[in-house]
Structure 1
């Protein structure tokens, strides 16, 4: 809750797209690590300023990979290597290989089985 010395500020931003520029990579190489030093993980379509990985599927993976990086130190491929992730088929991260694979095998209870 804002104090009387610092009233709440509300800002509205019009819809837009992250716009690449010639200076973008140099700025991001400095800015994103400084934000992480402040425990700010700026990710997603607008947070990472990477138009080439700004689709819904990319934005989701930016969040997944950020969480993996925080938890295990895993490399954030989508953020750091957008050209790489856009030129290959994803074969290592599939639903049938993760936690949801147990649901398909019947190891997890389903609504039908609970009744």
Structure 2
């Protein structure tokens, strides 16, 4: 996959709630956890995660911090789609998820 395709899939530079929600859905899929499990990890209600995934809210700092500390998905990717700093294995999995039809 070339860099143009990666930028398209990650919506690099797009900091809208919709773009953040797309990246968040991919990151949550990467974890293999349910929304409820993640909510428990960050001491929030599952409905909060649902609102963030739907794009009703931006991803919370607590959620992004959890994704970074436990799954190596960093803030730059979550908020702006910047992917060059992601660990190779994480980037590979995220792009597989983003490229797969939903």
TM-score by length of 2: 0.26
Larger relative contact order (CA 8 Å, sep ≥ 6): 2
- Name the larger-Rg structure: 1
TM-score (norm 1): 0.24
